[in-house]
Structure formats: C-alpha cells, structure tokens
Structure 1
C-alpha cells in the first residue's frame, strides 16, 4: 500500500494520485457544471478553487451560494475518500492533488486561491500553484 507524507511526496506517487484524481473529479465537477447557480457564481467571481481541492468563497456568500458550495464540497470529499482508499493515499493527499488539477483547469476570468491564500483571477498565463503540484 502506498503511503505518502504530505511534506515530501515522491514524484511518481503524486503522478499516480494525480491521474486518479482527474478521473474522480469528473463526476462531481460535471454535476456542478450543470447547475446554472454554480456557473453564475463562478462567472461572477463569488467562488473559486482552493489548493485543498475544495471550492471556497471569494466574497461573502448568500445562503443559496453557501448551500451550493457545501453540497459540492461534500460530494468532492466523498469522491476523494473513495479514490484515496483505492490508491492507498490519504484523503488530504488526494484532495491536494485534485486541487492542483482543478486550479490548473481554471479558465481565464475564473478565481482561484494561491498557495499563500490570496484570491486571484486567472489570466491567459498559468495559475500560481503549490510547488508540490505534479
């Protein structure tokens, strides 16, 4: 069974988790993207991707946005938990790698959180990601 320390993951281990993370994200992300409220909140810059693999609030959320994000994050955690068990990693490691992938897949104009905790708007260049990202 593969166990990683969050501080010093190996390159091949992160690559394996990253490949699996991409598959695990397909279902929760696809479901969220069908929700017009999710798309509107993302386009308005109210929510964004965080390095920990979960959505966060860029601005003070309305009750509806808070409920939407909580629902998506619950679904993400369930997917991370399932896939972490299958890959022999921890939920936190799997979520982190997923966060790397989700931030990398943001589009220009969308919000994401840097490793330092600052919310940025994605431009045409690559987003600022954690140095441990695969």
Structure 2
C-alpha cells in the first residue's frame, strides 16, 4: 500500500507540474473541463475543438501513467486512477 501511495504521489507530481498554469487549468477554471472520480477529465457541454483535443491528450497521458504504476504495483489501472483523483482533490483543497 505504501508503494502505491508513493507511486500515486509521484504520478500527481508528474502530471501536475507540466500542467500548472496550463490550458487545462484555464479550461477547468472556466468550467469547460471537469475532473471525474475515475481519474480522467471530461469536457463539459459544447466546447471548442481545441478543448476536446486537450481532454483527449490529457486522458491519454494519464492512462499511460496509470498503466505503468498499476503494472509496477500489481493492481488495476482503475485503482490507480481512482487514487489519483483522491490525491488531486486533496491537493486542490489545500491550495
């Protein structure tokens, strides 16, 4: 479990760092994109093509990262994704 927690924290650091003050943050702040409890993001409503593309790219990168962590820890990708969501929400509340 400790290995999973460490991996999840590393995942959040990897995902969050390049995305700080990013188009994803802007899209989230404007309500065009939301974080889902399954660890991925979703476009909310009718959004421009660049936002749909951003969502697809972010989700693809997250799935790749989640898959690596899941294999390393012998757990499911869904478990890693859900833990990532919990960590991301906790981090957001501290800011």
Q: TM-score, normalised by structure 1?
A: 0.61
- Coordinate RMSD, CA, aligned: 2.0
Q: Map residues 105-116 of structure 1 onto 2, 5 A cutoff.
A: 105-107=91-93
Give the secondary-structure state (helix, strand or coil) at the position aligned to 1:20.
helix
SS at match of 2:55: helix
Report which of the two structures shows the higher radius of gyration computed on alpha carbons.
1
Q: Tell me by how many angstroms 1:88 deviates.
A: 1.2
CA contact (8 A) 2:41 2:59 kept: yes
Number of residue equivalences: 94
Runs of 4+ with deviation above 4 angstroms: none
Distance 1:24 1:39 in 2: 17
1:16 Cα deviation (Å)? 4.3
Cα distance per residue 1:29-55 (max 9 Å; x no partner): 2222253x2222111121121111111
1:30 to 17, 22, 25: 17
**Structure 1 alignment gaps of length 5 or more:** 1-12, 109-134
Q: What residue is the counterpart of 1:41 in the other structure?
A: 27
Alignment of 1:32-71 (within 5 A): 32-35=19-22, 37-71=23-57
TM-score when normalising by structure 2: 0.83
Q: Is the 8 A contact 1:48 1:58 kept in 2?
A: yes
SS at 2:42 equivalent: strand
- Aligned equivalents of 2:32, 2:38: Cα separation in 1: 18
